[in-house]
Structure 1
Amino acid sequence: MTGFLLALKSSFGFLSTIPVGITMEGLDEFFKRTYLHQVVGIVLGLMMGAVAYLLISFLPVYISAVLMIAFIYYITGLNHLDGVADLGDGLTAHGSVEKKLKALKDMSLGIGGVAYAALIILALYASLISLYDEASVLYSTTADLARIFFFAMFVSEVSAMQSMLTVAAFGKSIHEGLGSILVNNTTVPKYLIGFVIGSIACVGASMYFGLGISGIFVFLAAIVATFVLLNVSNRHFGGVNGDVIGASNEFGRIIALITVTLVLMYGGIV
Structure 2
Amino acid sequence: MNSFLLALRSSFGFLSTIPVGITMEGLDEFFKRTYLHQVVGLVLGLLMGAVAYLLISFIPISISAVLIIAFVYYITGLNHLDGVADLGDGLTAHGSVEKKLKALKDMSLGIGGVAYAALIIIAFYAALTSLYSEASILYSTSADVARIFFFAMFVSELSAMQSMLTIAAFGKSIHEGLGSILINNTTVPKYLIGFVIGSIACIGASSYLGLGVTGILAFIAAIVATFVLLNISNRHFGGVNGDVIGASNEVGRIISLITITLVLMYGGIV
TM-score normalised over the length of structure 1: 0.99
Match of 1:134 in 2: 134
SS at match of 2:35: helix
- Structure 2 Cα separation of the partners of residues 164 and 49 of structure 1: 20
Q: Does residue 1:63 correspond to 2:63, yes or no?
A: yes
CA contact (8 A) 2:138 2:268 kept: no
SS at match of 2:174: coil
Match of 1:28 in 2: 28
Q: Which amino acid aligns with 2:58?
A: F
- Structure 2 Cα separation of the partners of residues 135 and 264 of structure 1: 7
For residues 133-153 of structure 1, what are the alpha-carbon distances to aligned partners after superposition, in whole Å with 9 as ceiling and x for unaligned? Answer: 111110111000000000000
- Structure 1 Cα separation of the partners of residues 102 and 209 of structure 2: 47
- Structure 2 Cα separation of the partners of residues 131 and 215 of structure 1: 14
For residues 69-109 of structure 1, what are the alpha-carbon distances to aligned partners after superposition, in whole Å with 9 as ceiling and x for unaligned? Answer: 00000000000000000000000000000000000000000
Q: Does residue 1:198 correspond to 2:198, yes or no?
A: yes
SS at match of 2:207: helix
- Structure 1 Cα separation of the partners of residues 121 and 151 of structure 2: 20
For residues 209-233 of structure 1, what are the alpha-carbon distances to aligned partners after superposition, in whole Å with 9 as ceiling and x for unaligned? Answer: 1101221101000000000000000
- Structure 2 Cα separation of the partners of residues 49 and 32 of structure 1: 29
- Structure 2 Cα separation of the partners of residues 65 and 268 of structure 1: 22
Match of 2:145 in 1: 145
For residues 29-55 of structure 1, what are the alpha-carbon distances to aligned partners after superposition, in whole Å with 9 as ceiling and x for unaligned? Answer: 000000000000010000000000000
Q: Does residue 1:44 correspond to 2:44, yes or no?
A: yes
- Structure 1 Cα separation of the partners of residues 132 and 61 of structure 2: 7
- Structure 2 Cα separation of the partners of residues 208 and 54 of structure 1: 19
- Structure 2 Cα separation of the partners of residues 213 and 220 of structure 1: 11
Match of 1:110 in 2: 110
TM-score normalised over the length of structure 2: 0.99
Match of 1:177 in 2: 177
RMSD value, Cα: 0.6
SS at match of 1:165: helix
CA contact (8 A) 2:135 2:148 kept: yes
- Structure 2 Cα separation of the partners of residues 171 and 269 of structure 1: 35
Match of 2:259 in 1: 259
Which ranges of structure 1 fall in alignment gaps of 5 or more residues? none
Q: Could you tell me the percent identity over the aligned residues?
A: 88
- Structure 1 Cα separation of the partners of residues 79 and 160 of structure 2: 14
- Structure 2 Cα separation of the partners of residues 267 and 222 of structure 1: 19
**Aligned in 2, Cα 1:268/1:138: closer, same or farther, shift over 3 Å?**
closer
Q: Which amino acid aligns with 2:235?
A: R
- Structure 2 Cα separation of the partners of residues 213 and 96 of structure 1: 44
SS at match of 2:240: coil
- Structure 2 Cα separation of the partners of residues 184 and 154 of structure 1: 28
- Structure 2 Cα separation of the partners of residues 242 and 207 of structure 1: 35
SS at match of 1:211: coil
Q: Does residue 1:232 correspond to 2:232, yes or no?
A: yes
SS at match of 1:172: coil
Shift in Å at residue 268 of structure 1? 4.3
SS at match of 1:108: coil
- Structure 1 Cα separation of the partners of residues 155 and 259 of structure 2: 10
